[in-house]
Structure 1
Amino acid sequence: MSKDHFVLTAVEPLPNYGLRLTYADGQAFTVDLRERIRTTSFLAPLENATLFAQAKPGFAGRSVDWVEDELDLGSDNLRHLAVEQAGGIGHERIWSWLEDTGLTLEQAAEALGISRRMLIYYRDGEKPIPRAIWLACLGWEAVRPKGSSLPLHVPSAQEYAALHAG
């Protein structure tokens, strides 16, 4: 699979601070930026509807640009946000989970019962993350199993606190 899943081929500004994004892998997403613009200081200039309407693909399709080299958003971050807004699980969650747990790719793949290659597909956004995989990540985080045996119950609040202490 190629890395085209983060390369934008088209950007269409929509009413109310939305964007229709089309990627080189043929996928199209709609993303709502109202809240981000309202709460992120560097995006405040985009409250100007005329400026917002000037959105276009940036260099090599790796961003949406409004003002070149000054005001842009990464195409990978926008895809993640669009997936999350549509109710999916964005690839950045796997990155964060790996960092938070300190697991290697091999350890994480084994913990989830999938191949290392499949975990890389999910982490890199090349394949959508199934709900069951994300729930397994959350479950692993909750119980932090030691070794290959899985716990037989969900930890109590006290057990959970002890598992996550320092």
Structure 2
Amino acid sequence: MSRAKRPNIVSVEPARGYVLRVRWRDHGEDIVDLAELIAAKRALAALKKPKIFAKARPGEHGWTVRWGGNIELDADYLYRLARYQAKESLRPEAFRNWRAKHGLSQAKAAAALGVSDRMVKYYEDGSHMIPKTVMLACRGYDALRSAA
């Protein structure tokens, strides 16, 4: 999370179906569905048990969510997942697919979106979250291309 304040967890409330209600120090509140992640990651298998999932709490200094034992998820990861689920950001693979669909090099994609070549690389490798403005610019580019 580059220059913006890193997400910091104030409180966590487990809900039905592997959902967490996460309240952030400076970023409001999100509902994060962990069902897919829990199903896909063997290390999280214990969370399939409702009694264990219900033990979610903020970790030390709010930088993680902990369930006891060795199970925890990073606040940055949860914040990104919340943005993806809320359709407020693109996943890196979706951004790469968008660029490939239009046959754009990284440099041409950067020019089309009004960002630097370096940021396109960061978006594609996942080291920087794709902001909503860039996601909307991609949609606008799609609309202009389909109207032509």
TM-score above 0.5, yes or no: yes
> What CA distance in whole angstroms lies between the structure 1 residues aligned with 2:6 and 2:130?
7
Contact 1:89 1:134 in 2 (8 A): no
| TM-score (ref. length: structure 1) | 0.59
Quick check: 1:131 aligned with 2:132? no
CA contact 1:56–1:66 (8 Å) conserved in 2: yes
Give the aligned residue type for 2:35.
R
Matched, 1:71 2:71: yes
* Pair member with larger Rg: 1
Q: Is the 8 A contact 1:7 1:23 kept in 2?
A: yes
Runs of 4 or more off by more than 2 Å in structure 1?
Answer: 1-5, 101-104, 107-112, 122-137
Question: Are the aligned partners of 1:19 and 1:31 in contact in 2 as well (CA < 8 Å)?
Answer: yes
In the TM superposition, 1:89-100 aligns within 5 A as 89-90=89-90, 93=92
**Partners of 1:93 and 1:27 in 2: how far apart?**
24
In 1, are the aligned partners of 2:7 and 2:27 still within 8 Å (CA)?
no
Q: Which residue of 1 aligns with 2:19?
A: 18
Secondary structure (helix, strand or coil) at the match of 2:61 reads helix
Distance (whole Å) between structure 2 residues aligned to residue 3 and residue 9 of structure 1: 17
**Alignment gaps of 5+ in structure 2:** 97-103
By relative contact order (CA 8 Å, sep 6+), the higher-ranking structure is 2
Kindly tell me: are residues 128 and 40 of structure 1, through their superposed partners in 2, closer, same or farther at Cα, counting changes over 3 Å? same
C-alpha deviation, 1:102, in angstroms: 9.3
Name the count of aligned residue pairs.
133
1:54-133 to 2 correspondences below 5 Å:
54-67=55-68, 70-90=70-90, 93=92, 110-114=111-115, 124-125=128-129, 128-133=132-137
Identity of aligned residues (%): 29
TM-score if structure 2 supplies the norm length?
A: 0.65
